[in-house]
Structure 1
Amino acid sequence: PMYALKLLVTLTEHNPAYVSLLEENHLFPVLFQVILEHQDSMLGNTMQTAIALLNNVVASKSTNMMLLFEEGLAHHICNLLMETVALYLEADDKSSTKTANALLSLLDILHCMLMYTTNIVRQTLQAQKSGTGGDTQVAEDLLLINKPLTDLISLLIQLVPGEDTEIFESASQCLSLLVQLYGGSSQESMSPENM
């Protein structure tokens, strides 16, 4: 699948319309299957390419994010980030390009997911406030689907004091969005050993 993944990364980078083709041909589950099969090799070329493709898919405005969430996007990103952050924090050389790039890509994906969720919740709250009503079910479902992401709060806190400014900024933005969305629902993250 490596060459197919590389081709898809290039196509989706240069023409976001290809993201719609991935969706129409039901290739999101295949992408997640590749990720599952190569999860033991986080820094391998196949995994790096799969993450790059997932980043392109999530960053595309035309992507049906709910479809990705239903396919388990939150679960996959949670697992990938936990493994990658562990590799990054254990590394003696924090400037290891492969680990840092994988981490930045995953943080970008997380940021897109959280921004999408934030926008849906915000639109729902504004509709409620203005009296136009609106269905809160989509926002509620989205918050429930993404709730496992609160497990990342303590990991993101560990990335904040790092020396890499890109990782610091990305982790800070994700942390801010998680706290805005879920507030104090993960109090144990603020314990002294996680600070």
Structure 2
Amino acid sequence: SAGGKTAVVSTINGDSNVPFYKELGNAGLKAKDVPVVAFSVGEEELRGVDTKPLVGHLAAWNYFMSIKNPTNDAFIKKWSDYAKAKGIAGHKDKPLTNDPMEATYIGIHMWKQAVEKAKSTDVDKVIAAMAGQTFTAPSGITSKMDEKNHHLHKSVFIGEIKADGQFNVVWKTPGPVKAKPWSPFIEGNDKKPDEPVKK
């Protein structure tokens, strides 16, 4: 991904990534010539693509399956065992985890903790109990729900595509990034509050 003066920032989302990366490979465009930085291509999207021509292209996520730590090892094993036991198509033979799965895993556990704290499933009580929840995430950090805006504080990773369809993390934030619900780069957002307005 050393590249030169040209790069592609891909904002393609979902299934459209597969034909894009197939055509990128067919065109012979390599990361050393024109690196692609994507925000929506991960392990699952690369499953159906010959990744060898894509080695070195980049993706930014809050989690990659290839991150090494005991919490992630346990997360991958739980999913792998479940996928094999249930015969889940595509996963029973080659189980993969990815960022949306990790985000869901964190969310479900934080919801459970909030229900236990609230001693209720009443929506308003659970919402109040969600504030400040923490959970040791498979990404290797303790993810925190912001007390005011209920967005998660999470780390950011940039990974290079490897020939096996996994990612080699080449950069990461020093720790979790404080949640900001509004982009400071969009005009007018500086006037929006970071927390919900009480009615």
Larger Rg: 2
**TM over 0.5, shorter chain:** no
What TM bracket, shorter-length normalisation? under 0.3
Decide which structure has greater helix share: 1
Decide which structure has greater strand share: 2
TM-score (norm 1): 0.27
TM-score (norm 2): 0.27
